[in-house]
Amino acid sequence: MLMHPQFDPVAIRIGPLAVHWYGLMYLAGFAMFVWLGRRRLRHEPYRTLGWQPRDVEDILFWGVLGVILGGRLGYVLFYKPLTYLAEPWRVFAVWEGGMSFHGGLLGVLLAMAWWARRQQRPWLQVMDFVAPCVPVGLALGRIGNFINGELWGRPAPPDLPWAMVFPAAGPLPRHPSQLYQFALEGLLLFVLLWAFARRPRRVGEVSAAFLTGYGVMRFAAEYFREPDAHLGLLSLGLSMGQWLSLPMVVAGVALWLWARRTPVAL
């Protein structure tokens, strides 16, 4: 049985300025998106369609806005609607924490739809470009969760070699679910998706693979992650994260079937 190292959440202190590890993970995720996006420009069809490095930077800017706004609103609507309905001004209290991946995904979809229309490019072509560059950022985010000792797992058997005690969660050994999600939704999804996207694919196939892959992996990881204390397990013994992942899987399968009907692979 292991003990969580209890990292200092502040990575760097310069006078009154405190830079948190979680913020550094976000910055590292943005940097990796730019690096991977520029490599993605070498893949078809982007290499022959005139995509430029500045497109990667534009997508990152609007994507970050989508993540922040969508992630915050998603948390408010999916996880604590009654709390924020009673105190709506707290929606803007982002320093209190509270972000939702699924809300952030919806925010990115809308932001990319706006950018695609502005650039007169097919929306699914843009999403196919973005999808393989995302999992590394998700992996870094889970490392930030682990450093902060938050979003810990459910109680684990004491003889599980990697079971870990998170002091903030009490004395019980738990699954380090942040690391499970780091490995599944982050590294494994990235490797599979990047390898898949390197070859020409029909429009929508890469996006479909991301939706299905993330949805399945998140659904599985949630069995080891402690449900939100104020929600617990919902209908059929599933967590909110699992219920929100199911539409992703359905949408991914539907998009895949639609994309496979396209006669010509780009």
Residue numbers belonging to the annotated binding site: 142
- Give Cα 10 distance to the centre of its chain: 23
Minimal CA–CA distance to 215: which of 254, 163, 176? 254
Strand, helix or coil at 193?
helix
* Cα–Cα distances in angstroms (integers) from residue 108 to residues 51, 102, 116, in the given order: 20, 10, 12
Report the relative pairing of strands 10-14 and 17-20 from DSSP bridges. antiparallel
d(CA 177, CA 179): 5
* Omega within 30 of 0 (cis) for the link into 45: yes
Residue 142's closest CA among 225, 77, 59, 233? 225
